[in-house]
Amino acid sequence: MSEVHCLRSVDNLFVVVQEFKDYQFKNTKEEVLKDFEDLAGKLPWSDPLKVWELNTNFKKKKTKRKKINQNSSKRKMIDNGQGDKLDENNVKKEFADDLIGSHILDYYENPAIKEEILTLVGEDLASCKDEADESSKEDTELRVLKFRVTCSRAGEKHCFTSNEAARDFGGAVQDYFKWKADMTNFDVEVLLNIHDNEVIVGIALTEESLHRRNITHFGPTTLRSTLAYGMLRLCAPQPTDIIVDPMCGTGAIPIEGATEWYNCYHIAGDNNPLAVKRAANNISSLLTKNQIKEGKQSWGLPIDAVQWDICNLPLRTGSVDIIVTDMPFGKRMGSKKRNWNLYPACLQEMSRVCRPGTGRAVLLTQDKKCFTKALSGMGQVWRKVHTVWVNIGGLHAAVYLLKRTPQAFIHPLENERATS
């Protein structure tokens, strides 16, 4: 259980109640919703609920240990023979782990997540408060629980909305269990995930989508921490690697980097003063959170922020080991036309600062055409090693892994002189 909670590229953790690979939706909205209502009473709830109970107790024990200031990495599995078996069979993880294979990764938006922004410091303090409310309910007796249903729906052929499905399914769940519905202060979160013809009913094991774990100050296009983690893993950071995000926005990637790869040095840079300010704020929040969590003296992290222009980086030639960034898509930020000029200039400047031979870059973009064209003229300095396809809020984007060739950077003017 503890290991599952440590997974960094997972957005949400839930236990599957039932999975329908090819759900047959009826034709009218009324019929579809009635089906959902009927479904509630027919599902195999008891085992998943036991897992939920295990998980809740596990989390309570975790916060208790935090308060006593013990080393929180020594989490023990709850000693329950039956619990171990349940874990293997029923816990389903939505994994973005092996990015080395090119497959479509789906990150469809969970509407429950689009709420107000909570600070992570707030979350930690709140969970410490919960511990005080803990009563001795360690047995499997089902008391009157509070619940809510969250529905996330993706697909073009549905004749109903996620809200409608959640409402009607939720009504049936309430009748079946005699639980109390509560949108904010719930014990059990029932998930109804609908993706085209695939329907999964689950019970959440995490409170807040883990993709928001590090970011407190959001910007217009903040990258999910889980995606940032995946991108960083793709470039296999080595200890003391200098890792730079030259278009960092709110700093999602360097912050994820500084948390997980603290043996490296991370620099977040952007030309937009607002973005740099947000990145710096996110770094501060992270430092504060670290202080509270670890309870130790050390509150510095190997990360810095700089305001700069990607086309004119104030970095020494060949000084950077890894460049990881989310390039402007040209939809919410920038424009397709600007990309035609921006992309080649970026790739050129990145090739200059990147260490020849060992350096690499992991670049996310939706403007694949522009990127490919920009890259095509740079074979002497960049070699494309791998491409991963990603679905970002409905947009089909690509993550490119590039290796910096051993060729030293030649200044364009010198190049011209040499060839003329």
Q: Which residues sit at the interface with other proteins, rule CB under 8 A?
A: 239-240, 242, 263, 265, 267, 271, 273, 276-277, 280, 297-302, 304-309, 311-317, 319-320, 345, 411
Q: How far is CA 408 from the centre of its chain?
A: 36
Of residues 53 and 245, the one with the C-beta less far from other proteins: 245
- Sequence-distant (6+) residues with CB within 8 A of 106 are 154, 195, 391
- Sequence-distant (6+) residues with CB within 8 A of 387 are 102, 398, 399, 400, 401
Of residues 149 and 324, the one with the C-beta less far from other proteins: 324
Integer Cα distance of 322 and 232 in angstroms: 9
Closest separation between CB of residue 330 and other proteins, Å?
Answer: 22
Instruction: Check: CB of residue 320 under 8 Å from CB of residue 237.
Output: no
Closest separation between CB of residue 275 and other proteins, Å?
Answer: 11
Of residues 40 and 353, the one with the C-beta less far from other proteins: 353
Give the phi and the psi of residue 271 in degrees, each rounded to 5: -90, -20
Q: How far is CA 411 from the centre of its chain?
A: 38
Of residues 256 and 321, the one with the C-beta less far from other proteins: 321
Residue 166, burial from CB neighbour count under 10 angstroms (0-12, 13-18, 19+): buried
Closest separation between CB of residue 52 and other proteins, Å?
Answer: 37
Of residues 101 and 239, the one with the C-beta less far from other proteins: 239
Of residues 87 and 241, the one with the C-beta less far from other proteins: 241
Instruction: Check: CB of residue 215 under 8 Å from CB of residue 2.
Output: no
Closest separation between CB of residue 307 and other proteins, Å?
Answer: 4
Of residues 230 and 237, the one with the C-beta less far from other proteins: 237
Of residues 313 and 363, the one with the C-beta less far from other proteins: 313
Closest separation between CB of residue 250 and other proteins, Å?
Answer: 14
Of residues 161 and 240, the one with the C-beta less far from other proteins: 240
Integer Cα distance of 335 and 316 in angstroms: 29
Instruction: Check: CB of residue 358 under 8 Å from CB of residue 321.
Output: yes
Integer Cα distance of 8 and 5 in angstroms: 8
Closest separation between CB of residue 33 and other proteins, Å?
Answer: 53
Closest separation between CB of residue 3 and other proteins, Å?
Answer: 24
- Tokens encoding 384: 């494309």
CA distances from 106 to 91, 284, 410 (A): 19, 31, 41
Which residue bears the tokens 């991963």?
A: 388
Instruction: Check: CB of residue 201 under 8 Å from CB of residue 188.
Output: no
Report the residue count for the chain.
420
Closest separation between CB of residue 297 and other proteins, Å?
Answer: 5
Residue 215 is given by DSSP the state: -
Closest separation between CB of residue 315 and other proteins, Å?
Answer: 5
- Tokens encoding 310: 């990607």
